[in-house]
Structures are given as structure tokens and as C-alpha cells.
Structure 1
Amino acid sequence: MSRSVFVSHAVKDRELAAQVVALLEEGMGVPEDEIFCTSLKGHDIPAGENFVSYIKSQMQGPKVVILLLTPAYFESKFCISELGAAWVKSHAIFPILVPPLDYADIKDVLLGTQVVKIDDDISYNQLRELLQKEITFTPKSQTKWDVKRRSFLKDIKPILADMPGPSMVSASALEAKDRQLEEARVELDEYEETVQSLKKRLAAVEALKDKAAVAEVSKQFDDTGLTEQLDERTNEIAEYRSTLRGTEMLKYALSAFYGKPYKINRFEDREVFDEAARFGFINGDDEPVWSQRHMKSLRAKLKELGSFISENEGDLGKQVDEDVPLEPENQDFWEYHYNI
């Protein structure tokens, strides 16, 4: 009988596979007997079973196949067979891309498939949601999930640092690198044009005396759209999920800044807010410490965002889709732009 989760990986990557399995068990709560991973005792092929036949049986009906895509993976005939079987049988797959491989290295293999990088913290929430949707199990608390996920990202760093590159380069890869080199040359020429434009802009600004005229000149030279500027600002704020050691702490800080109700759940989130207190994000009365350097920086960026949206509200409303929220003090804005 197939287990619910199949971790497809190369033998050379057993150490990395072990970290992924630990994340599934200790961070998410997936039961040990629901995970098949050939490199780990308790998850591997039972004694007496035929290696090839047993793997074939396990590929018949897993709910989710996790692909650990490394250079060694694509040099393994077994791994390529597992990838092909998952594709043919239309299993739910979660491809994890491991450096030094990049998206360009796998686009011909997983064309049109969403792939996440192994060190992308937020993407593992997608894996957690996929498993909760496909498998019946009792999930770990949000706090345990956040703690284990951070530990996982820390523990894989030395493994990734020693990750070898592919032992050979294909002709298509070489051609791709040549194309990239040519594109880089073209881009460099475009940058040179941009530099010359910026020099002209600086000279024009220096010749002005009043702010209105400066703003007018800036508008003439600025080729960045308002939606891109909005994304840049909200992405900077979203990064505070990591800076403040968790999603809940960022939600708390946003609520405090905008005067929205928020009650700390000391049962579920005690570890998160104890850590926040140790870092000085909050005081002993669970109040925000805006003088702390990260909190101070966050508040400054929130003020900048508010001013930007207020000053460009009309034009932004015309450029973004109707379903994109533009009220930074509301929960729907936080969910859409900050993924919290």
C-alpha cells in the first residue's frame, strides 16, 4: 500500500532529505508511517522487499510527491523515473529547487509548474496547506511550525554550502549560458543609457530652486510604474515577518500601528511573544517598543507607504486591478500584500 507522502530524492542528497522529513514530522505533524523516503530508517524499503518493485508500488497512489531537485537528482535514472511516474499519474507534486540549480535549469523538465527554492521561508506554508488538504492528520500548532521552519532553514545552510554542482554540462545548458551572456551585454548597454538619463536628471534637479519644480522634473524622468513602487514598498514590509521572528509578531505590530484590536494568545503564541520580548520588540506589558531599531524602521516604512498611497490614490486606483486592496490599515490589505 502506498504511503501518503513520497519524498523523491537522490541517494547523494540523503542528508537534505532527512531535514525535509523532519520538517514534515516535527513542524507539520505528518505521521511517520505516512512518509516514504528511501534514505531514512523507518521510512525506507522493508527488509526482504525487492528494491525496484517496492518503489514502483509506492509510486502508485501517494497523495503528495515532494521532489528534491538537485544536480544529483537529474543525474539519477531512478529519480528521473520517479519524476516521470508522478507526471504520468498526475500526482500532486511539490518541487523544491536546490542551488546551484536555478529555474532556467529545470524549465524544460517542469514547464508550467510552480517550483519553490529550498531557502524560501514563506513557500513552505504552501506545502503545509497542500498536505493538510490532501492528508488527514493532526497538525502542529502555529508556534511549533514557525519554530521548526526557522530551525530547518538554519540547519540546511551548511548542507547547501557543500552542495556540488552537476558533473557535466549539457549542450542545451551551454547554449542557454551563451544566450544569457548576450542578454547581459544588451542589458549592460541599456544600463548605460539609464546612467546617462540619470545624469541629465541630476543636472536638471540641481538647477531648480523650489520643490514643485523638482517634483515635476522627477515625474518626467521616472519610468517606474506606481504599481511597481507599491509592490516594492509592501515587499519591504512583508520581509519583517522574518525580521520580527514570525507572522504573528508582524500582525501584532501592524495592529498596534493602525490602532486595530489584537489580543496575544499566550497559549498558542507564547514562544513567539516571549522571543519578541527578549529582542525588545515589546515590553513587559505587551506594548510595542517603537524605539527598538527594527520596530522603528518598520514604523517609518509604514508611514512612507501611507503617504505614497495617499498622494497617488487616484492614479493607483486606475492602474491596479479592482480586487487589489489599497487601504493599508485593513486586514484584507495585510493578507493580500503581506501574506499574513
Structure 2
Amino acid sequence: MSKDIFISHAVKDKDLADAFVDLMVTAMGISAENIFCSSLEGMSIPTGANFVDHIKAAIQKPKAVLALITPNYLASQFCLCELGATWAMSHNLFPLLVEPLTFEDVRGVLTGVQLTEINSATRLSEFRDQLNSTLGLTGKNTARWESKRNVFLKGLPKILKKLPSLEQVSTAAHAKVVSELDDARQSLADQEEELAEKNDLIAKLEKAKDKNEVAAIKRAYSGEADQLDQLETEFGTQLESLPRHVSYVACKELGLHQRVKIDGFKDADLADGLERAAGQKLIEIDDRGFCTLNDSHPLVKKMTKPLRALKSFIESASIELHNDFEAEHETLLALDNSEYWANRLDSRLQRMSF
């Protein structure tokens, strides 16, 4: 569970993080229970917990993320990931610039972000006021704050001097980090695009007038719906390449599992069409007048694969897809449903009698 404050820092900068957390606790009255700092005892990761998973959970919903920007921080892939996650999730970020870094040094990482120089008494007081506002604290004890702040600033040079220096990075290692950073940025861009799409979906759903519009919108944004449309198009294209009377036989035989019988008195047009189809070797008619598809004909054989794919997809589709389809089209998503064939696979079947 996220705490109010997440301290983003390099492990090598533990002493600096410790001193700064003490300043917040003693001078600002912030409870240590409300601070997450992975390198400090009592504020870090519980024994036995997965490090990465716990960090991910801790950075989900803090009220403020405090980043101690040092050379060690900029060299840490993990710290840059925390910074990227903070940016992607629009958290309140308070970047604290630590000497010897300058504004120019972090321009590429924090372009356009207001930085607080940690060694400036004035800027630290401004940081305190902003953080109090973000956390909903009063921050009235100014005298105590200034006293503790001055003690922190007096001891800061000694703390910074003891921090482990940044090791020289090889060209190959630098290139690898740059590549990984580019990948991380692309991943964040993809997530932003996905979020924008979901927000667009929510907006359209809120404007929908009835259940049919809701179903249509949901299907348009569903991966399953796209697959269904594609499979229907592929099979429907094969049906429409056949005479409509042969498509009718296919619907009855392959979908409804029924046999079509020629009856010139009942439906002369159907009988004539079936006789022509038999002459084209698309169907076979037995001596009792029952018609079946000629599986050896190339056009009939071409239906087999797309029909099998559509049948398999419908049988394994989610309940949500079936419900949305039925709400929009007011019919069942099923191959043994003649309305489904006529409305979604071959519109010529709407003129046929079932």
C-alpha cells in the first residue's frame, strides 16, 4: 500500500536520504509511518517481500514523490524508472537538486520541471511550504523549522563528501542505458496512448443514449470484437463468391445442420437456382431431391478454413462479447442461427425463406 511520501533515491545516497528524512520528521512534524524510503530501517521493504513488486506497489498512489537528484541517482536505471513512473502517473514530484549537479546537468531528464536546490535555505523553505500544501499540513512552527533546516544545511557538505563517488561508465554500458531509457520512454508513450483511448471510450459511453449504442461502442474498442469482424468478413467473402442459392444450402447444411429439398411447387425460384448450381457442380442433388454441397468444388473447399476459424472463435468467445453482440443486434451470436448468417455473413440470405 502506498504511503503519503515516496523517497526516490540511489542506494549509494542512503546517508543523504537519512538526513533529509530526519529533517522532515523533526522539523515538519511528518510521521515516519507516512514515509517510504527503501534504504532506511522501518521505512523500507518488509523481510521476505519481493523488492521490485514492493517498489511498484509503493509508488502507485503517494501524495508526493521526493527525488534526491545526485550523480548516483542519474546513473541508476532503477531511479530513472521511478522517475518515469512518477511522470507517467502524474504524481506530485518534488525534485531536489544536489551538488555538484547543476540545472544544465539534468536538463535532458527533467526539462521544464521546477527544481529545488537542496543547499539553499530559501528554496528549502519554499519546498516545505509546497509539501505542506500537498499533504494538507499547517506547518506553523516556523522557528523550529528554520532551526532544524540550518542544522541540516550546516552538516550537508560533510554528508555529501562521504557519499560514494560515481564510477566511470564504459561506452558500451552508457549505450545500453540509453537504449533501455529509450525503450522505457516508448513504453510510457504506449501507456499514455492506451490511457487516452480508454478515456475516449469512457467519454463515448457516457454520451450513449441506449444499450444498443453502448454495445456498439464497447465492441468497437474490444480486441475480441475486431477479431470477430475480421473472421466474419473472411467467411462472408467466400459465401458471397457463390450463387445465393448455394450460400443458402451452406447456411442450412453447415450452420443449421438441415438438408435442403427441391420443391418446385413451393419455391420455384429456389428450385431453379439449385438446379443451376447442380449443373455448375457446386451442389449435388440425390434422387429424392435433397441437396448437399459438393466438397470437391474449389469454391466450396475455400469455405472450409474460414468457417472452421469462425466456429472455433465463437465457441471460445467471452460471455461479454456474446452479451454485447446480442444487445446490439438483438439476435444470438451462433452459427445455428439463420438470422446471424443473413445479417452478418451474407445479406442475400435475407431474401431467402428459412
TM bracket (short chain): 0.3 to 0.5
TM-score (norm 1): 0.48
* Structure (1 or 2) with the larger CA radius of gyration: 2
With the length of structure 2 as denominator, give the TM-score of the two structures.
0.46
